[in-house]
Amino acid sequence: MAFSAPESPEELLLASSQVRRQSLQRMRHSDSDSHPPPRPSPTPTVTTTTNATIAERSPINTQTIVLQNWNPKTPYMDKIKASTNIQTAYQIYLNKCQSYAKSPSFYFDVASYFFSQACSPFSKTSAIDTFNQHHSMSIISTQTVSNETSSSNFDSNQYVYFGLCILTNVLELKLESPQLLRTVAYKLVELGLFNLAENFFRHIVILRSDESQSFRDLAVLLQESNIQYNHITEISDLFKKVILGEWNNRFAEIEVTALHELNWFLFKFHQQQQMSASLDNRLIRHLPVDLRIVLVWDTDDTDVDLHVIESTGEEYYYSHKNTAIGGMISRDFTRGYGPEEYLIRKAIKGTYTVRAKYFANHQQSLTGATTIMVHIYKYYGQSNQQKQIVTLRLSSNKEMIDVCKVDFDDDVEQEVENKMKNVEQSNMNIHLNVTCDGCEMSPIKGDRYKCLFCSNVDFCQFCQSTSKANREPNHFYDHPLLCIKDSRAYPQSSYLLSSNNVEHQNVQCNSCLMKPIRGIRYHCSCGIDLC
């Protein structure tokens, strides 16, 4: 039985329970000589380290997004942190299970510790394969694994394996609780284990089909993991359901956030033309921004507020929704699960501090705390996009915690610009600093089509071939388009250099009354001529 596609979390629960018992047997039968050498206590690090090793690494340096480390101060965590190796830490966890068996926070804290110890890079696939292997062995046979597991095998994958076992054990408390499922799924998303998280989000859609957040969570997850283009139709359908569906008032305006995400999806996977027939064209517009923060949480009827202190020192939050440099916030969600969103189109140089405040909880939380998940996007919707995901827990009303700091400086932007210039030098079909007016592709890749009459109107090859250029409001459909292969050579083209010598006999400019028009003549189908 493979874990990669269980029909429901019940299979995951059964597997994790049996794996935990099997692990205990293995540890009891292994002698002290088989233990790995003591693992040195790592230098305190921020969550970025965990995310960067487990999640897919971005080609751009993401050290400008520094996440806050989660450090629960509890007696059991003090003992686990004092352990010298993985077996001792796991044995302490098993010993404490009886005392904290009914506390979901116990499982989340310990699992997070094991994940944080996976400091060295490893493959997500190998980590999941390890979990699947033990899962299959526990289902097929009850035999105990011998102590052939040497110290060399207790590497980062073992920490992740034990972390997954502990994290999924929380489902034993209340299997059908959407809050528990969301909390586990959010943690898996933070770790970049999208395939595992997908099973939980799909089950939540079944349990909470009346909540728009269920469909948005699944759509965002599938978009993040859609490397092989396997879910194109499903993703667009999920986003459209959130945008066009009728939902309870506590979810009002979630469609605004979903629409922004849908447009990035359409642009990223070149689906604009396919969506034009099912969605109003006025809603299809890719809007890239320099900084985007999205906050969601796992507890219904809860009010968590997003705060952002901009580089100018101005603080943005629910009662101060617009800032001097252009920052803006979405609606304040006082019920439901969020999302609350911060956007700034052009960020100025400096540090942006992201915080979250636990304002109020209108229902009893099963876990005793509310888990928040924050997506931090730098240069959202652009070729140099950076992303980090972090989950944190809030347990007391009016509690304010720091989530992350995002630095904007000239060095990173200059590095990206230099990279783009180098690519352009090796490929003449990349048009630096030219944006398609049809799909917002920036820079245009491939052939560039420039309108000879409309000022600063350009289209990519896709928009020109699919006739989308004809529907652009700033462009007349019958205006000719000039195909440009190399934007660097275009300014030196004979067309432009000789344009001033061209004289249009008996043609007068309807604006300045020049007659005849010299240089480039702009002629409208309505009969108007301009110089």
Neighbours of 194 (CB within 10 A): 21
pLDDT at 423: 53
**How far is Cα 103 from Cα 100, in angstroms, rounded to an integer?**
5
Amino acid (1-letter code) at residue 368: G
Reduced to 3 states, what is the DSSP secondary structure of residue 486?
coil
The highest-confidence range among 195-204, 365-374, 488-497, by mean pLDDT, is 195-204
pLDDT digits (tens, 9 = 90+) for 178-231: 888 988 999 999 888 898 899 999 999 999 999 999 999 999 999 988 766 778
Q: Assess whether pLDDT exceeds 90 at residue 293.
A: yes
Residue ranges of the domains in the chain?
1-172, 288-426, 427-497, 503-531
**How far is Cα 298 from Cα 178, in angstroms, rounded to an integer?**
8
**How far is Cα 39 from Cα 96, in angstroms, rounded to an integer?**
22
13 in Cβ contact with 138 (< 8 Å): no
**How far is Cα 202 from Cα 5, in angstroms, rounded to an integer?**
11
Mean pLDDT of 374-386: 91
Classify residue 151 by its DSSP letter.
G
**How far is Cα 387 from Cα 380, in angstroms, rounded to an integer?**
8
> Which residues, in sequence order, are CB contacts of 389 under 8 Å at separation 6+?
51, 55, 189, 190, 373, 374, 375, 376
Mean pLDDT of 169-185: 80
Mean pLDDT of 470-488: 77
Owner of token pair 């003090």? 78
Q: How far apart are the first and last CA of the chain?
A: 73
pLDDT at 60: 40
Q: How distant, in Å, are the alpha carbons of 10, 89, 115, 135, 386 from that of 17? A: 11, 18, 19, 10, 37
**How far is Cα 519 from Cα 502, in angstroms, rounded to an integer?**
5
- The 3-state DSSP composition of the chain as helix, strand, coil percent (nearest 5) reads 40, 20, 40
DSSP state letters, 306-374: EEEE-TTS-EEBTTB-B-TTS-EE----SSBTB-EEEEESSPPSEEEEEEEEEEEESS--TTSSEEEEE
Packing angle of the helix pair 9-29, 156-169 (nearest 10 deg): 130
271 in Cβ contact with 226 (< 8 Å): no
User: If 0-12 CB within 10 Å is exposed, 13-18 middle and 19+ buried, where does residue 429 land?
Assistant: middle
**How far is Cα 233 from Cα 231, in angstroms, rounded to an integer?**
6
Mean pLDDT of 372-394: 90
4 in Cβ contact with 132 (< 8 Å): yes
> Which residues, in sequence order, are CB contacts of 233 under 8 Å at separation 6+?
none
Classify residue 482 by its DSSP letter.
E
Assigned CATH for 288-426: 2.60.40
For the chain, the residue count is 531
pLDDT at 35: 42
**How far is Cα 187 from Cα 350, in angstroms, rounded to an integer?**
30
The more confident residue out of 14 and 404 is: 404
Mean pLDDT of 301-330: 87
pLDDT digits (tens, 9 = 90+) for 52-89: 333 333 444 445 777 776 667 788 888 888 888 888 99
Mean pLDDT, all residues of the chain:
74
Mean pLDDT of 225-246: 86
> Which residues, in sequence order, are CB contacts of 105 under 8 Å at separation 6+?
72, 367, 368, 369, 393, 395
* H helices present in 141-253, as ranges: 156-169, 178-190, 194-207, 212-224, 232-244
